[in-house]
Amino acid sequence: MQSLLRSEIFKFIETPISLILTDRKWYAVSQDPHVRGEWLIYKYGRSHALFHGVRLGNDFLTLDVVQALLTRKALISRYFIQRLIMQFGPYDEKLIEQKIQHNVNQIDFDRIRDFKKKLRSPWASNLPLPIFTKLITEGYNTLSDHGLETKGNDMELFHFLSAGPLVINDAPQKLHQNLSEIEDLILNKKFVPFPPRPKPIFEDTIEYIQLMQARAHEDYPPKDGYENSRQLNVVARAILIHPDLINLWKEIGYHRICSDVNDLVMQGAFLILFPPTPPTNWIIPDIDSVVTRLRQLLAVGFQLTETVMEAAFQLFEHRLDEIGDLLMDSFQNIRKEPKSVIACSCLIQTAKPERKHKKFDLLEFLIKYIDDQPEKAWEKALKHYNVGFKYDIDSIKSVEMRSLSVHSNIYYWILKKYGPNYKITHQCFDDILESRIWIDLKLQENPELDVPEHLTKQAFNSICSIYLEFCKEKFPFKRNYLPYLMMAKDEEIIKPFFKISLPILFGLKLQRNLPYDINHEYDRPKVNYYYKNNNKRKFNEMDCYSDQNELAKLFDELKDNYNGTKAYKIYHEEFMCRYSEKELNDSDFEQPGSSSASKKPRHEI
């Protein structure tokens, strides 16, 4: 009974490997081929179960697991068989390298070769012969009555049948001429595209850049087996022309078709409604036309998600003045939500770290719809991406990569929009400081390097320059920054604290001319509206040292703690000498009968 219960529970576990490694009973459950088959079908659906079984490799896919999948009616298509034959067997890496070397330049060759070394065995290439034979045999038994042209490519065939080579205005007629053949391809040959490739987690690393470049130039079929966006766009385009194709796929059990191409279909719909290069006779659609078209797609299973809405605003960022309000009105009509709620959810999406934000039109557009406390919306967005301190002074030393949680241009916009005394601005600087300290620690470990290993030069300049941008605005350093600053050797980090922030707090004359010279090449977009033009203090504007007890604690830590790097100690001692001289001068000029409060240094007032 308990074993049956475990088997039933197992299929609901998203990633069971940690459970398998820590518990023998769960390990035993995981070895059952029927349990594995159920897990694959529940997680990926019958249409993609065999693809993922092959992808997971020989340690997972056995003959018994294949049989369990087939017994549970996992979909086997002619396209699956074609791809299996196309990609089965080991690659001749020497031949591939020779081809690459003679067709691309040396830089591209090195990049592609490095990527191939890191790529696991290509999909289906090392499949055991008995499993390969079993799948091919099953394909012939299932599909032979309808024609099993194994040397074809049903994705390519679908491209031509759906009028892929024609422009969108000429395609509908051709597609409808071929509709019976498309129906045969789906209903009888069980044509189902392979699943879309999961998006990699963004990192400001050289490896991430290499990965994205390699994928942009990859051959077809992709080595990892996943369908790339070019092929899925073929499917999305056909659906936009003839949405009833969705019902054909659902009829054969491909119920995930809408989720697989949701974003591509919705984006395509917007591009048809608002062409990038409108013809001379084009008229901007009204809200009824936009809503009607979107509802047609929603009716067959597509969704107007936060990701889709933000992507539409992003797609037309250069045309927001023209169609931005129309899009917002349409989204509100469909989702029945206040515009401020839609804008807040889109703000989270637009803050994705992979977004470069070369201009701020979209941010300005969204903020204008958040009429009640936009700072709260930013707090939510920053929290979503875990902006702020992530490590303590011990763990930061061993972290392999600590880049900014979102793009530095977001931090720049917030700084210029709200100024240095807002809670969200402090949250941004916490994130910036930790990343800047991490860079310094890595360069201390490897003084021969100019940029930490793995970090891109652009990310290095981005972090260093945004740190100085905040310092230029006289950003108030907090007491909890001290342990981080004491680890730093780079004067660029230490100097703003002792030359700007502390003198302002303790009433000393600035010894550093502002604005700072920023010697890191990084262009910042223009911010249209600066906080300095707004004389109103918002209700949540905060001063981290308005509490004089906090200021006194900072002074006590400075007075009693002379630890830190050599560079830190030099600036620390110099500041304490300056402060002592000021205190001495203030006491010399003290007038008889003055109040006791006036005798106290600023940190005690």
CA distances to 14, 580, 583, 584, 585 from 592, rounded to whole Å, are: 76, 21, 17, 16, 15
pLDDT at 460: 95
Tell me if residue 472 falls in helix, strand or coil: helix
Least confident of 93-97, 282-286, 287-291, 428-432: 93-97
User: How far apart (Å, rounded) are the C-alpha atoms in residues 266 and 350?
Assistant: 17
CA distances to 304, 367, 482 from 344, rounded to whole Å, are: 15, 8, 35
What would the mean pLDDT of 451-479 be, rounded to a whole number? 92
Q: Which residues contact 201 (CB under 8 A, 6 or more apart)?
A: none
pLDDT at 110: 60
Q: What is the mean pLDDT of the chain?
A: 87
User: How far apart (Å, rounded) are the C-alpha atoms in residues 162 and 157?
Assistant: 9
pLDDT at 114: 56
What would the mean pLDDT of 439-454 be, rounded to a whole number? 95
User: How far apart (Å, rounded) are the C-alpha atoms in residues 65 and 71?
Assistant: 10
Q: Per-residue pLDDT tens for 301-334?
A: 999 999 999 999 999 999 999 999 999 999 999 9
pTM for the predicted model, two decimal places: 0.86
Strand partners, 455: 205
Q: How many helices (H) and strands (E) does the chain have?
A: 32, 0
What would the mean pLDDT of 74-80 be, rounded to a whole number? 96
Cα angle at 93 between 90 and 99, to 5 degrees?
130
Return the residue matching tokens 């929603």.
Answer: 298
DSSP structure class, residue 221: S
Which residue from 451, 359, 356 is spatially nearest to 408, judged by alpha carbons? Answer: 356
Total number of residues shown for the chain? 605
Provide the pLDDT confidence category of residue 124 given band limits of 50, 70 and 90.
very high
The two tokens of residue 277 are: 């290069």
Residue 203 has pLDDT above 50, yes or no: yes
pLDDT at 540: 40
What would the mean pLDDT of 9-14 be, rounded to a whole number? 88
pLDDT at 188: 94
In 473-515, the DSSP E strands lie at none
The two tokens of residue 21 are: 């490694």
Return the residue matching tokens 């939500």.
Answer: 337
pLDDT at 538: 45
User: How far apart (Å, rounded) are the C-alpha atoms in residues 8 and 528?
Assistant: 58
What is the phi/psi pair of residue 124, to 5°?
70, -5
Which residue from 219, 221, 249, 218 is spatially nearest to 235, judged by alpha carbons? Answer: 249
Percent of the chain with pLDDT over 70: 88
Largest Cα–Cα separation, the chain:
110
Strand partners, 196: 227
DSSP structure class, residue 541: B
CB count, 10 Å around CB of 15? Answer: 8
CA distances to 390, 391, 435, 460 from 402, rounded to whole Å, are: 9, 10, 6, 11
Task: Tell how far CA 561 is from the center of its chain.
Answer: 41
What would the mean pLDDT of 570-589 be, rounded to a whole number? 80
CB count, 10 Å around CB of 591? Answer: 6
User: How far apart (Å, rounded) are the C-alpha atoms in residues 419 and 475?
Assistant: 9
What would the mean pLDDT of 46-53 be, rounded to a whole number? 97
What is the phi/psi pair of residue 489, to 5°?
-110, -25
The two tokens of residue 443 are: 């360069």
> Of 169 and 557, which is predicted with more confidence?
169
Q: Please check whether residue 468 is in contact with residue 516, taking contact to mean a CB–CB distance below 8 angstroms.
A: yes
Residue 414 has pLDDT above 80, yes or no: yes
Least confident of 514-523, 528-537, 564-573: 528-537
Task: Tell how far CA 119 is from the center of its chain.
Answer: 21
pLDDT at 519: 74
User: How far apart (Å, rounded) are the C-alpha atoms in residues 296 and 208?
Assistant: 38
Residue 545 has pLDDT above 90, yes or no: no
Least confident of 361-375, 528-542, 574-588: 528-542
> Of 514 and 425, which is predicted with more confidence?
425
User: How far apart (Å, rounded) are the C-alpha atoms in residues 157 and 153?
Assistant: 6
Q: Per-residue pLDDT tens for 242-291?
A: 999 999 999 999 999 999 999 999 999 999 999 998 888 899 999 999 99
| Domains of the chain by residue range | 387-546
pLDDT at 601: 42
Q: Please check whether residue 484 is in contact with residue 433, taking contact to mean a CB–CB distance below 8 angstroms.
A: yes
pLDDT at 600: 43
Percent of the chain with pLDDT over 90: 62
What is the phi/psi pair of residue 205, to 5°?
-120, 155
pLDDT at 536: 45
pLDDT at 434: 97
